[in-house]
Amino acid sequence: MKNSYKLILICFLLFLFVGCIKKLETPEWDVNLEIPLINKNYYVYDLQDSVNIVSEDGIMYYQNTGDITSLEVSSDILTISENSEKMNLISTDIVKRGGLPLDNENEENEIELRYAVTSEWYLHFAFNNLEHPEYIESISFTFENVFETSDSEPFTKVFNGNFGTETIEDLSNFIIKDDTLGPQEVLDSLRFTVEIKANDGASLDDFDLTLSYEKMKFSYVEGKVFNKRLDIEDNSTEIDIEYPVGIENTLNQHGAKLIFDIDNPIGFDCTFYGKISAYNMTSGITNYAIIDETDKVILEHAENGEVKSTTVILQGEKIDALLNTYPEKVTLDESYLIIGNKNEQGEVVTGYIREGVKVSGTHKSKVPFEMILINNSELEDDTQVADSNYIQPSEIQEIDISSDNQEIIEERANHAEFILNLENSVPGGAIAHLYFADNEEDVFENPVLKIPREDEDTSFEPALSDNQTGETSPVVSEIRLKLSHEDLMIFLTDKLYLGTRFVFKDSGGEPVKIKSEDYIGVTGYIELSAHISEK
Say which range, 92-96, 115-119, 253-257, has the weakest mean pLDDT. Answer: 253-257
Distance CA 430, CA 458 (A): 9
Identify the CA nearest to 394 among candidates 240, 239, 241, 242: 242
- The confidence score (pLDDT) of residue 528 equals 86
Region for 121 from its dihedrals, namely left if φ exceeds 0, alpha if ψ lies in -120 to 50, beta otherwise: beta
- Phi first, then psi, for residue 135 (nearest 5°) are -70, -20
Banded pLDDT at 217 (limits 50, 70, 90)? very high
Task: Share the mean pLDDT of the chain.
Answer: 85
Highest mean pLDDT among 44-48, 320-324, 378-382: 320-324
pLDDT greater at residue 62 or residue 379: 62
Distance CA 176, CA 5 (A): 153
pLDDT at 377 over 60: no
Identify the CA nearest to 520 among candidates 443, 429, 457, 434: 429
- The confidence score (pLDDT) of residue 505 equals 82
pLDDT at 154 over 80: yes
3-class DSSP state of 89: strand
- The confidence score (pLDDT) of residue 357 equals 96
pLDDT greater at residue 171 or residue 492: 171
Distance CA 315, CA 511 (A): 15
Measured CA to CA in angstroms, residue 150 lies from 155, 179, 185, 442, 513 at distances of 11, 11, 20, 80, 63
3-class DSSP state of 103: coil
Distance CA 198, CA 10 (A): 173
Q: For residue 26, with 0-12 CB atoms within 10 Å meaning exposed, 13-18 middle and 19 or more buried, which class applies?
A: exposed
Rounded to an integer, the average pLDDT of 360-385 is 67
Alpha helices, DSSP H only, in 324-457? 403-411
Q: For residue 414, with 0-12 CB atoms within 10 Å meaning exposed, 13-18 middle and 19 or more buried, which class applies?
A: exposed
Banded pLDDT at 388 (limits 50, 70, 90)? very low
CATH class held by domain 79-223? mainly beta
pTM (2 decimals)? 0.74
pLDDT at 288 over 90: yes
Say which range, 121-130, 151-160, 201-210, has the weakest mean pLDDT. Answer: 201-210
Instruction: Enumerate the β-bridge partners of residue 464.
Output: 473
Strands 189-198 and 298-299: unpaired
Are 155 and 174 contacting, i.e. CB atoms less than 8 angstroms apart? yes
3-class DSSP state of 17: helix
Rounded to an integer, the average pLDDT of 393-400 is 87
pLDDT at 382 over 50: no
The percentage of the chain sitting over the pLDDT mark of 90, rounded to a whole number, equals 45
Say which range, 180-194, 366-380, 450-464, has the weakest mean pLDDT. Answer: 366-380
Distance CA 150, CA 177 (A): 9
pLDDT greater at residue 133 or residue 202: 133
Distance CA 31, CA 36 (A): 16
Q: For residue 322, with 0-12 CB atoms within 10 Å meaning exposed, 13-18 middle and 19 or more buried, which class applies?
A: buried
Identify the CA nearest to 37 among candidates 387, 416, 429: 416
- Domains of the chain by residue range: 28-46+375-533, 53-73+227-372, 79-223
Q: Which residues contact 43 (CB under 8 A, 6 or more apart)?
A: 517, 518, 519
- 1-52 pLDDT, tens digit each: 555 555 555 555 455 555 554 444 555 666 778 889 999 998 877 766 556 7
Identify the CA nearest to 189 among candidates 117, 108, 121, 112: 112
pLDDT at 317 over 80: yes
Q: Mind giving me the DSSP string for 191-213?
A: EEEEEEEEPTTPPP-EEEEEEEE
- The confidence score (pLDDT) of residue 387 equals 43
Distance CA 29, CA 477 (A): 32
